[in-house]
Chains A and B, each alone.
Chain A
Amino acid sequence: MSSIFIDANRKQIAGRRRIDFSLKLLFLVATSIGVIALMALLIDIITDGIHMIRPELFNNFPSRKASEAGMKSAIVGSLYMLLIMTPLSFLLGVGAAIYLEEYAKKNRITRMIQLNISTLAGVPSIVYGILGLTLFVRELHLGRSLLAGSFTMTLLVLPIIIVSAQEAIRSVPKSRRDASYALGATKWQTVSRSVLPSCISGILTGVILAMSRAIGETAPLVMIGALTFVAFLPTGPLDSFTVMPIQIYNWVSRPQASFQELAASGIIVLLVMLLLMNLSAILLRNKYNKHI
C-alpha cells in the first residue's frame, strides 16, 4: 500500500519539477526578448547608418540631396534647447522638491500637489505640446521659437526632476539636519549647506535623466512648430529652430533609401549623445559619493 503512495508521490513531484523547469525556461526566454530587441535595434541602426557618419553630417545644413544633407542646425538647436531648459528645470524642480520635503506641512494642499505631480508624469507628451502651442507660442507671443520650445520642455521634464530630487532629499538622514540646527543654523542654512550638498549627486542624476528625456522628445516640439527644414543657426532665443529628433523624423518620412540611411546616421549621433550624458551621470555620481 504505502509503496504505491510513494510511487505516486514521486511521479507527482517529478511532474511538478518538470513544470517548474519548463516555466523557468519560458520566463528566461521572455526576459531575453527585451535584450534581443535592443540588440536588433542597435544592429539595424548601425548597419544602416554607420557609413553616413561623415564630416558633412556635422558641418552641413539640411538639403534636398541626401549626399549633401547634414544636421548641423539640428545638433546646435538641441544643444541650445538643453542650455536654456536645464538650469530652468533644475531651479524649479529642485525648488519644488525642497518645498515638498523640507517646508510643506502635511495638509490637503501638499497632498494635492504631490498627487498632481504624479498625474502630470503620466500626461502624454503631445498634450504638453498643445499647452506650449497655446500658452507660449500664441498667448505669450514667443512664436515658434527656441524659447517657446525650451519652456514647453521644462514643463514636460519637471515631474521627473521633482520626483527624483525628492527621493534624494529624503535619503539624507535626520541627524544631519539636527547637527546643523545644533550649530545654530537657520532652516535655509541647513537646507542649502547641509541637506543639498549631501544629496546633490542624486539630484544631478535625476536632472541628467530629464535632459536625456528632453533631447529625445519629438512630438511636443512638432506641436509648437519647430521647423523641419532649418538652413541657419539660431542666433537668439526668439529665433526659430529645429532639433535632432525632428530632423530624424523628417528624414525617416521620406521614401528614398538614401534618406533612410541618413536618418539612421542621425539616430547614431543622438544615441551617442544619450550615452555620453548617461556616462557623465555615472561619473558625477561616483565623484560626489567620494566627497561625502
Chain B
Amino acid sequence: MPNEALSTKSPKQLVNAAAKRDHGFRNEKSHLMDKIMPIALFLCAALSIATTIGIVATLIGETYHFFEKIPFIDFITGGKWSPLIDPKSFGIWPLICGTLLITVIACLVAVPIGLASAIYLSEYAPKKVRNIVKPILEVLAGVPTIVYGYFALSFITPIIRGLFADAGVFNALAAGIVVGIMIIPMVCSLSEDAMTAVPRSLRDGAYALGATRFEVALKIVVPAAFSGIVASAVLAFSRAIGETMIVTVAAGSTPKLTANPLESIQTMTAYIVQVSLGDTPHGSVEYGTIFAVGMTLFVITFLLNILAQYVARRFREEY
C-alpha cells in the first residue's frame, strides 16, 4: 500500500502528508512564511492590475471634467488646436495629424530597414557577424530618447536644411527619421524572432528544390513568419505614436493640419510636455487638456497593442 501512495503523489504532496504527521520536522517560522508569502506575492502581481485601473480611472476622471467644460463634439471634429492662446479652440485633429506625420515617416524608415536587417541576420549572416551586429542593435535600443532628440536637432536637421532650403529649424522630417532609427532594433528583433521560429525543414525543402537564399527568404520564411512581422510593424507604429522627447526637442510646437514634413508641427506627446512645463493651475481647462489628449494617446496605443497581439496569435502558422 505505501508503495502505491508513493507512485500517485507528487513530491510536494508527500512532503505535506509527512508534515501533517510530524510537527517537529520543520520549525514554526517556515510554516508562517508559507502562510504569508502566497498572499504577499499575489499582492505584488495584483499591483499591475491596480496600475492599469489607476491609469484608466485617472484619465477618465479628469477627461470627464474637461468635457463638462468643452463639448466633446468640438474636441473630436475641430480643426484648430490653440488651448493656451485666445481665441481658444480645442480641436484635436492638428495634434493627431502631427503625430501621424511623425509616425508614418518613422515607419517608412524603420519597417523596411528593420525587416531587411532581420532577413539578413536570420538568413544570410554568418554567426560572427550576428554576434557583432545584435549587441550593437541592442545598444541602439537602449539609448535614452533625449539623446536621440539631441542627435536629431544637432545632426539630422542641419543635413535636411542643407538638402531642402525651405525646411525649418524644427521640422517633422528630422524628428520622424530619428524616431524611425530608434525603433529599427525593435522591428528587427521581433521580426527576426518570428523568422528564426520557422522550422529548418521548410528551408531545407526549398533548398532541395534548387531555390536560392533570396527565394527561400522571400517565398518561404517571410510568408511563414508573416504574422510576427506584421505584429512587429504594428508595435513599432504604436511605439512611434507614444514617443515623446525626440518630437518635443526636434519637431517644434506649432500644432497644424499639414502633410508637409519640412514644417514645424506638434504631436500629442509634445503638447502634453509643453503644458506640464508651463505653470498651469490645477483644475483649469488647460490642465484638463493634458488628460483629454493623454486619453486619446492611451486609447490609440492601447488599441494598436491589442491589434498586434491579436495578429500575432490569430494568423500564426503552427508547425
Given A135-B58, A186-B34, A264-B154: A158 and B48 within 8 A (CB)?
yes
Q: Is the CB of B119 within 8 A of A27?
A: yes
A264 cross-chain contacts in B, Cβ below 8 A: 150, 154
Render A86-100 as a binary contact track against B, CB cut-off 8 A, 1 for contact: 000001110110111
Q: Residue A149 at the B interface, CB < 8 A?
A: no
Nearest to A264 among chain B residues (CB) is: B150
Q: Is the CB of A95 within 8 A of B44?
A: yes
Nearest to A224 among chain B residues (CB) is: B276
Q: Residue B235 at the A interface, CB < 8 A?
A: yes
| B269 in complex: contacting residue of A120, A219, A260, A267, CB < 8 Å | A219
Q: Residue B223 at the A interface, CB < 8 A?
A: no
B185 cross-chain contacts in A, Cβ below 8 A: 34
Render A242-280 as a binary contact track against B, CB cut-off 8 A, 1 for contact: 000100110011000000100110010011001000100
Interface residues of A in 65-111 (CB under 8 A from B): 91-93, 95-96, 98-100, 103-104
Q: Residue B30 at the A interface, CB < 8 A?
A: yes
Q: Is the CB of B18 within 8 A of A158?
A: no
Render A115-134 as a binary contact track against B, CB cut-off 8 A, 1 for contact: 11111101111111111011
B290 cross-chain contacts in A, Cβ below 8 A: 130, 133
Q: Is the CB of B140 within 8 A of A37?
A: yes
Q: Is the CB of B212 within 8 A of A113?
A: no
Q: Is the CB of B26 within 8 A of A17?
A: no
Q: Residue A234 at the B interface, CB < 8 A?
A: no
Q: Is the CB of A184 within 8 A of B145?
A: no
| B146 in complex: contacting residue of A96, A159, A249, CB < 8 Å | A249
Q: Is the CB of B151 within 8 A of A26?
A: no
Main secondary structure of the interface of B (DSSP, over half): helix
Q: Is the CB of A30 within 8 A of B297?
A: no
Q: Is the CB of A98 within 8 A of B301?
A: no
Q: What is the CA–CA distance of A197 and B48 in the complex, to the nearest angstrom?
A: 25
Q: Is the CB of A113 within 8 A of B49?
A: yes
| B117 in complex: contacting residue of A31, A100, A228, CB < 8 Å | A31
Q: What is the CA–CA distance of A95 and B47 in the complex, to the nearest angstrom?
A: 10
Q: What is the CA–CA distance of A264 and B153 in the complex, to the nearest angstrom?
A: 12
| B273 in complex: contacting residue of A120, A187, A219, CB < 8 Å | A219
Q: Is the CB of A92 within 8 A of B47?
A: yes
Nearest to B212 among chain A residues (CB) is: A20
Nearest to A110 among chain B residues (CB) is: B45
| B297 in complex: contacting residue of A35, A113, A124, A248, CB < 8 Å | A124
Q: Is the CB of A249 within 8 A of B212?
A: no
Q: Is the CB of A38 within 8 A of B139?
A: yes
B315 cross-chain contacts in A, Cβ below 8 A: none
Q: Residue B84 at the A interface, CB < 8 A?
A: no
Given A45-B147, A119-B302: A222 and B276 within 8 A (CB)?
yes
A239 cross-chain contacts in B, Cβ below 8 A: none
A1 cross-chain contacts in B, Cβ below 8 A: none
Q: Is the CB of B212 within 8 A of A16?
A: yes
| A219 in complex: contacting residue of B40, B41, B119, B244, CB < 8 Å | B244
A17 cross-chain contacts in B, Cβ below 8 A: 212
Q: Is the CB of A44 within 8 A of B151?
A: yes
B107 cross-chain contacts in A, Cβ below 8 A: none
Q: Is the CB of A216 within 8 A of B47?
A: no
Q: Is the CB of B147 within 8 A of A267?
A: yes
Render B50-81 as a binary contact track against A, CB cut-off 8 A, 1 for contact: 01101100110110000000000000000000
B121 cross-chain contacts in A, Cβ below 8 A: 31
Nearest to B273 among chain A residues (CB) is: A222
Nearest to A39 among chain B residues (CB) is: B136
Pairs across A and B, CB under 8 Å, 26 listed:
A31-B133, A34-B117, A41-B143, A93-B44, A95-B44, A103-B41, A116-B49, A123-B242, A126-B244, A126-B294, A126-B297, A130-B58, A131-B54, A131-B58, A159-B48, A181-B15, A184-B25, A187-B12, A216-B145, A218-B244, A219-B244, A219-B248, A223-B272, A264-B154, A267-B150, A274-B144
Q: Give the B-binding residues of A (Cβ under 8 A).
A: 16-17, 19-20, 23-24, 26-28, 30-31, 33-35, 37-38, 40-41, 44-45, 48, 91-93, 95-96, 98-100, 103-104, 112-113, 115-120, 122-131, 133-135, 138, 155, 158-159, 162, 178, 181-182, 184-189, 191, 212-213, 215-219, 222-223, 225, 228, 245, 248-249, 252-253, 260, 263-264, 267, 270-271, 274, 278
Besides A126-B294, A186-B26, A252-B146, 16 other CB < 8 A contacts?
Answer: A19-B212, A30-B112, A30-B120, A33-B113, A40-B155, A44-B151, A45-B150, A119-B305, A122-B235, A122-B239, A124-B241, A126-B269, A184-B18, A186-B33, A213-B142, A252-B249
